[in-house]
Amino acid sequence: MAEQVKVFKNVIDVAVPVTATTVSLHTTSATQRAVIKDIDCLNLGKNVTLDLDGRTMNSGTDAGVLERTKNLIMGPSSTLSLKFPAKPATAYKGMMFFYGTEGFQLVEGDGLTAAFTSQTQITTTSNSTAGHSGAVHVHSTTGVVTYLTLYQGNVKVYEDATGAEIDSYPLDVNAGQVYQFCTDGTYLYGVNAFGNTIHRKHIESLANTDFTVSGMAYPASNQGSYVVHHNGKLYSKTNGNSSIVTILDIATAVVTSKTANTGTSRFAVGGYSDGGGVLTTTAGVTYIVEQGTDNWYYWNLSTDVVTRTGNGSATSTEYGNGFTQIAPGVALILGEETDRATVIDMNTSPPTWSTTLKPQHDFTLNKTANTYGSSFTIAGGVVAIPARSYTALCAGIDITED
61 has a pLDDT exceeding 80: yes
Sketch the domain layout of the chain as residue ranges: 2-87+387-400, 91-384
> In terms of Cα–Cα distance, which of 42, 52, 40 is closest to 83?
52
271 has a pLDDT exceeding 70: yes
- pLDDT tens digits for range 228-261: 999 999 999 999 999 999 999 999 999 999 999 9
At 237 the pLDDT is: 97
222 has a pLDDT exceeding 70: yes
Is the pTM above the cut of 0.75? yes
400 has a pLDDT exceeding 80: yes
361 has a pLDDT exceeding 90: yes
Measured over the CA atoms of residue 267, residue 374, residue 358 and residue 165, the dihedral's sign is positive
Common-topology check for domains 2-87+387-400 and 91-384:
no
Q: Which CATH superfamily is domain 91-384 in?
A: Kelch-type beta propeller (2.120.10.80)
Q: Which residue has the higher pLDDT, 5 or 228?
A: 228
CB atoms within 10 A of CB 68: 17
CA-to-CA distance for 67 and 389, rounded, in angstroms? 17
Please state which of the ranges 172-176, 272-276, 368-372 shows the lowest mean pLDDT. 172-176
CA-to-CA distance for 391 and 48, rounded, in angstroms? 13
Is residue 256 classed exposed, middle or buried when 0-12, 13-18 and 19+ CB atoms within 10 A define those classes? exposed
31 has a pLDDT exceeding 80: yes
Beta bridge partners of 97: 104, 377
CA-to-CA distance for 138 and 383, rounded, in angstroms? 7
* Cβ contact 131:156 at 8 Å: yes
149 has a pLDDT exceeding 90: yes
CA-to-CA distance for 124 and 28, rounded, in angstroms? 50
At 89 the pLDDT is: 85
Burial 229-254 (b: 16+ CB within 10 A, else e): bbeeebbbbbbbbbeebbbbebeeee
1 has a pLDDT exceeding 70: no
Mean pLDDT of 97-126: 93
Please provide the CATH number assigned to the domain covering 2-87+387-400: 2.60.120
- pLDDT tens digits for range 74-106: 999 999 999 999 888 899 999 999 999 999 999
Mean pLDDT of 385-390: 80
338 has a pLDDT exceeding 90: no
